[in-house]
Amino acid sequence: MKQFTLPDEVEVLIVGAGPAGLTAANVLSAKGKQILLIDIRKQIGHPLRCGELTFQDIFPIMGFQNREKWVRWNLSDDSEDMVVLNRPVMENDMAREVAEKGVLVIQSTSVTAIGEFKDGKREITLQSNGKQQRLNARLTIIADGVSSATAQLARIETRLTLDEIASCMAYRITGAQLKYPYRFSFQHFMEIRPFYFWVIPSGKDEANVGICVHGSRGHAAAALLDQYIKKSSAIDGGTITDTIVGSFPSAPPLEKPYRDGIMVAGTAARLISADTGDGIIQAALSGRAAAEVYLSLAGEATTEVKLSIYRKKLNYIYQQLYESLDRRMSGER
């Protein structure tokens, strides 16, 4: 395994190399900032925990050019502006590209302690490949996904109850007959309302087919998924080649996704649509917003008063997420 020497000090530490963290790293590295990007996983992008359906706009927002191999499938008809990504390939490539631009990217690493904000920085303790190490960071962008364990270390309440979680289970089915190979479908079966069953084509004869249920019914997800696949007219036959499990927050976004020296981005800040589960675009937008706020400070201290502009920059996302929450609560979908 490649050995890294961690620095004693960085300008920006980014925790989590998903769409939010990678976007922040890319935007900051373009301005020559000294960045450390860490991820708890051994391999960035693996295992996949997503349906990978998102908007074409994702690429300019993340600041990367769309590569053919980052897209599994282009949808058409009424879903013209949507694509189905290949997230493992895309995120792995993006991590390599930001590393080439000077970002120090380290896998199998997480934060175990976050100190108080003092002299314009925080002391962060990292656990990296079994070793503990401390460093100082002017800013830590926390983008470690659902129930953010890292934000909790900074005393930001991100724990979720079962009532605030959507549990998901999906299969990649290949060699299937798809009724609409260029269109995704979401079905709101009565039993699982306000959540849903989805068929997201990822090729002419393959799809990501999954289900989201209320957190307390997570144990029933597999049986319900099997039942709906049999019932669905959108897909017929095929072989299960992969199983995907995961969860996302169905609670409102964090009202204050920042503290002195800290910003929380993406699903860690619960920036995900409660009624459709789409969070990739919000992750990228918030990762970009966090990076831009830091750049706008131009060397000023990263106090929470200064960072409060981050929440303002995200106002339109919050507005959409509250509307999505209202739709879910009213069972409109």
Kindly give, in sequence order, each residue whose CB lies less than 8 Å from that of residue 304, ignoring residues fewer than 6 positions away: 258, 259, 260
Residue closer to ligand FAD by CB (options 29, 110) is 110
Residues near 131 by beta carbon (within 8 Å), at least 6 away in sequence: none
Closer to ligand FAD at the Cβ: 45 or 261? 45
Q: What are phi and psi of 290, to 5 degrees?
A: -60, -45
From residue 20, give the alpha-carbon distance in Å to each of 3, 165, 267. 26, 20, 8
Q: Which is nearer to ligand FAD, 107 or 302 (CB)?
A: 107
Q: How far is the CB of 185 from ligand FAD (least distance, A)?
A: 12
Decide: 293 and 31 in contact? Cβ < 8 Å.
no
Least spacing, CB of residue 224 vs ligand FAD, in Å: 14
Residue 216 CB, shortest distance to ligand FAD, in Å, is 17
Report the nearest approach of ligand FAD to the CB of residue 275 (Å): 12
In the complex with ligand FAD, the residue whose CB is nearer, 120 or 181, is: 181
* Nearer CB in complex with ligand FAD: 53/229: 53
Min dist. Cβ of residue 101 to ligand FAD (A): 19
- Footprint of ligand FAD (CB under 6 A): 15-21, 38-41, 49-54, 110, 143-145, 149-150, 168, 170, 210, 244, 246-248, 266-268, 272, 277-280, 283
Nearer to ligand FAD, 57 or 326 (CB): 57
Shortest Å distance, C-beta 299 to ligand FAD = 27
Q: Which is nearer to ligand FAD, 43 or 177 (CB)?
A: 43
Contacts 24+ apart (CB under 8 A), 152-161: 153/111, 153/112, 153/113, 153/114, 154/114, 154/259, 154/262, 155/259, 156/254, 156/256, 156/257, 156/259, 156/262, 156/264, 158/254, 158/264, 158/268, 158/270, 160/215, 160/249, 160/251, 161/215
240/31 Cα distance (integer angstroms)? 44
Contact 293, 310 (CB under 8 A): yes
Question: Shortest approach of ligand FAD to residue 287 CB, angstroms?
Answer: 7
* Angle at which helices 87-100 and 19-29 cross, to 10°: 20
